[in-house]
A and B are shown apart, each in its own frame.
Chain A
Amino acid sequence: MPAVEVKNLVKKYGSMDAVKGISFSINEGEIFGLIGPNGAGKTTTLRVLSTLLTINGGSVTILGHDLSKHATEIRKLISYLPEDAGAYKNLSGKAYLQFIANFFDSKEAQAMVNKGIEITDLGVRINDRVDTYSKGMMRRLLVGRALMTNPKLAILDEPTSGLDVINAQEIRRLIKSTAQTGTTVLLSSHNMLEVEYLCDRIALISEGKIVEEGKPKTLMEKYKARNIEEVFIRTVHE
């Protein structure tokens, strides 16, 4: 059974069709990349799958639960990292992680916080107020928050956005190791190298439609491209 199954998903904003009947599925433990230009419908798709937006057509099944009917159940199993997410500025990094962990099983809350602290790797700064953090530190805190809850499905919108090369590499390594423990990962990214390195399979989305889908290596062979960037250019712009 796939962890995520999307069939003919349609999402409209008023009269504007943001997502026009896309379909894809993600296997358990797989890292699936959704890539496409700005305004293609990536974030809308991720927001739908993370129970934030309602759908106008089609169906979405996450870990056996119908999104339209069992959003509450799904929220217990997923973790969503928005692209431009923030944290409560008056809290310390640790207090923020504690606040999030308190929504989950109380017996596991402390373990979650410890894991979050380890992922963020902020050292003593974890006790400082969030509003004193740099952009990179904030992103690490949020990635830590997203992965510390041991989600069955992690939905990550531009997970390394705003991070320097070293931090970005560390986060990629972390995502990879998280998937190896059985967590399914759905991510979007503009960084083609990241996509190529991380994803088992990718879907290229343009103007609300999936224009290509497959393993990065297979797609590169199909388009006789040296990297995913070339595949992206050819499928989206040609």
Chain B
Amino acid sequence: MSGLGNITRKEIRELLTPATFVPIILVALIFGAMGNSMQGIQQQATTPPIIGVIVEDNNTLGSVASSILHSQAKVVFNSTSSNDIEVGLSELRKKDGIALIVIPYNFTDRIRSEHPGNIKIYWIMKGAGLLDTISSSFFNAIIANINTNIAKRLISENTSVNTSFILSPTQRIETTSFKNLEFPGISPDAISSMLSSQSLLIPIIMMMIIIMAGSIVITSMALEKENKTLETLLTLPVKRTSIVAGKIIAAAAIGLLLAIIYMVGMQYYFAGFQFSTTAVSLATYGLVLTSTDFIWIGLSLFFALIAGLALCMLLGTFAKNYKSAQTLTFPITMLAMIPMFITMFADFDTLPLALKIFTFAIPFSHPMMASRALLFKDYVLVTGGIVYVIIFALVTISIVVWVFKTDRLLVGTTKFKWIKGLKRRRF
């Protein structure tokens, strides 16, 4: 065999280990499952929006608007009186509708007198993720179409109207209802963008801490094995629980410190991008986090960190050396990034059930979702999440302590006979 072939064969044999492949296969499976669920959300979002229509104006331009709404959206509620707004909204909520459109009685008259015709939109917002607001963005195209058709009608009637007015003959008067709150004068897009800018920080902090502290824990376990210090440590009069807890606490402290340093830089980075077109803030609508809420967020963050590090310790017990530790940090990185992206793209409430369960099961999701949930006083999700994360952490720590009490940590017993054949065991 040539030197090149010999080296290549040896390297492949060394790299072909479960530690290399299992995390990647798991991540591939997770992404596959996520892709399928997200596809469902996208399909739902790009189908014609479900709306209700109240047309009080029977004149020409009101009819133009009404016909466009009926042809381009799925209208599930029709009325000719604005007294039916509450009935319409209730009907739409039942039928998964996104908005109730009201064309007022003076719509045509106002336009003909060169005043923008009002289109009143009562939005029913279900989630604040990017994918959740696709429906409302799609609806914007319908409004643009109404404007175009009204403009065409005005031009075809040879009406001598102001050219700048003809380009924008209508104006929207919007009210959004979201999580039992009313947001007058604001669209779902604006709410979503405000919430995103408010709740982006915690997911990033969480992700950075987990990646940094997790890597510290896994590497620490790997180095104990590589430097042959683990055997000595395990024969000392110290509880296995203390060893596990000591490593987790130290990594959490260092991870936190690194995250703070990192976030100082990130803060400046974000400051450069902060701009708002809506010029409104969440505080205007009473959506502010109280000091108690910050304690909840802190608790959620703390327990998720402990749970995450316990998971890293478990992975670390599989690490044989520094090299294998690097591979094992990959699934943790993925587990930290997945909920960050999920919470960015969709609201927990609007996720399909499978994705909802998956997101809830990842302990890192909870501090990422906590701030938004607390803004809307959804304490059930936050406390439920904290309880789940505590249970997750306790179970994982128990498993790690159990591994520390067995031979697995030192001899790495495996049930795969074909792998055994590749290795020689020392006694």
A-to-B contact residues, CB < 8 Å: 13-14, 16, 18, 39-44, 47, 50-54, 72, 75-76, 78-82, 84-89, 100, 103-104, 142, 145
- Asked whether A75 lies within 8 Å of B236 as measured between CB atoms, the reply is yes
Residues on B with C-beta less than 8 A from A86 are: 227-229
Given A85-B229, A86-B228, do A54 and B235 touch, yes or no (CB 8 Å)? no
Query: Closest approach, in angstroms, between the C-beta of B229 and any C-beta of chain A?
Result: 5
Query: B residues 390-427 with Cβ under 8 Å of A?
Result: 406-407, 410-411, 413, 420, 425-427
Q: Report whether over half of chain B's contact residues are helix, strand or loop; otherwise say mixed.
A: loop
Contact of A82 among B232, B237, B407, B427 (CB under 8 A): B232
Residues on B with C-beta less than 8 A from A80 are: 231-232, 235
- Asked whether B227 lies within 8 Å of A89 as measured between CB atoms, the reply is yes
Query: What residue in chain A is nearest B235 (Cβ atoms)?
Result: A80
Residues on B with C-beta less than 8 A from A52 are: 231, 234-235, 407, 410
Q: How far is the CA of A100 from the CA of B411 in the complex (A)?
A: 24
Q: How many residue-residue contacts, CB under 8 A, span A and B?
A: 68
Q: Verify if B110 is at the interface (C-beta below 8 Å from A).
A: no
The 9 closest A-B pairs by CB, nearest first: A86-B228, A86-B227, A80-B235, A76-B237, A75-B237, A82-B231, A103-B236, A50-B235, A44-B427
- Asked whether B427 lies within 8 Å of A53 as measured between CB atoms, the reply is no
Q: How far is the CA of A79 from the CA of B232 in the complex (A)?
A: 9
Given A82-B228, A85-B231, A89-B227, do A43 and B427 touch, yes or no (CB 8 Å)? yes
- Asked whether B427 lies within 8 Å of A84 as measured between CB atoms, the reply is no
- Asked whether A104 lies within 8 Å of B420 as measured between CB atoms, the reply is no
Q: How far is the CA of A138 from the CA of B407 in the complex (A)?
A: 27
Interface residues on B, range: 20 to 34
Query: B residues 120-139 with Cβ under 8 Å of A?
Result: none
Query: What residue in chain A is nearest B409 (Cβ atoms)?
Result: A52
- Asked whether B238 lies within 8 Å of A13 as measured between CB atoms, the reply is no
Q: How far is the CA of A231 from the CA of B426 in the complex (A)?
A: 25
Query: B residues 249-277 with Cβ under 8 Å of A?
Result: none
Residues on B with C-beta less than 8 A from A72 are: 237, 239
B-to-A contact residues, CB < 8 Å: 227-229, 231-232, 234-239, 406-407, 410-411, 413, 420, 425-427
- Asked whether A103 lies within 8 Å of B229 as measured between CB atoms, the reply is no
- Asked whether B406 lies within 8 Å of A54 as measured between CB atoms, the reply is yes
- Asked whether B407 lies within 8 Å of A54 as measured between CB atoms, the reply is yes
Q: How far is the CA of A85 from the CA of B227 in the complex (A)?
A: 8
Residues on B with C-beta less than 8 A from A54 are: 406-407
- Asked whether A39 lies within 8 Å of B406 as measured between CB atoms, the reply is no
- Asked whether B410 lies within 8 Å of A39 as measured between CB atoms, the reply is no
Q: How far is the CA of A82 from the CA of B410 in the complex (A)?
A: 12
Query: Closest approach, in angstroms, between the C-beta of B384 and any C-beta of chain A?
Result: 37
Query: Closest approach, in angstroms, between the C-beta of B206 and any C-beta of chain A?
Result: 29
Query: Closest approach, in angstroms, between the C-beta of B67 and any C-beta of chain A?
Result: 76
- Asked whether A18 lies within 8 Å of B236 as measured between CB atoms, the reply is no
Q: How far is the CA of A100 from the CA of B228 in the complex (A)?
A: 15
- Asked whether A104 lies within 8 Å of B228 as measured between CB atoms, the reply is no
Q: How far is the CA of A18 from the CA of B232 in the complex (A)?
A: 22
Residues on B with C-beta less than 8 A from A75 are: 235-238
Q: How far is the CA of A51 from the CA of B406 in the complex (A)?
A: 10
Query: Closest approach, in angstroms, between the C-beta of A133 and any C-beta of chain B?
Result: 13
Given A13-B413, A72-B237, A103-B236, do A53 and B407 touch, yes or no (CB 8 Å)? yes
- Asked whether B228 lies within 8 Å of A85 as measured between CB atoms, the reply is yes
Given contacts A43-B426, A81-B232, A88-B229, list 17 more A-B pairs with CB under 8 A.
Answer: A13-B425, A39-B426, A39-B427, A40-B427, A47-B231, A50-B235, A51-B234, A52-B235, A76-B237, A85-B231, A85-B232, A86-B228, A86-B229, A89-B227, A100-B232, A103-B237, A145-B232
12 A-B contacts, Cβ less than 8 Å apart?
A14-B413, A39-B427, A52-B234, A52-B407, A52-B410, A75-B236, A75-B237, A78-B235, A80-B232, A87-B227, A87-B229, A142-B232
Query: Closest approach, in angstroms, between the C-beta of B91 and any C-beta of chain A?
Result: 66
Query: What residue in chain B is nearest A50 (Cβ atoms)?
Result: B235
Residues on A with C-beta less than 8 A from B239 are: 72
Query: What residue in chain B is nearest A18 (Cβ atoms)?
Result: B427
Residues on A with C-beta less than 8 A from B411 are: 13, 53
Q: How far is the CA of A54 from the CA of B413 in the complex (A)?
A: 13
Q: How far is the CA of A39 from the CA of B427 in the complex (A)?
A: 5
Residues on B with C-beta less than 8 A from A39 are: 426-427
Residues on B with C-beta less than 8 A from A84 are: 228
Q: How far is the CA of A142 from the CA of B239 in the complex (A)?
A: 22
Query: What residue in chain B is nearest A44 (Cβ atoms)?
Result: B427
Q: How far is the CA of A52 from the CA of B239 in the complex (A)?
A: 13
Q: How far is the CA of A44 from the CA of B427 in the complex (A)?
A: 6
Residues on A with C-beta less than 8 A from B406 are: 54
Query: What residue in chain A is nearest B420 (Cβ atoms)?
Result: A14
Query: Closest approach, in angstroms, between the C-beta of B127 and any C-beta of chain A?
Result: 48
Residues on A with C-beta less than 8 A from B427 are: 13, 18, 39-44
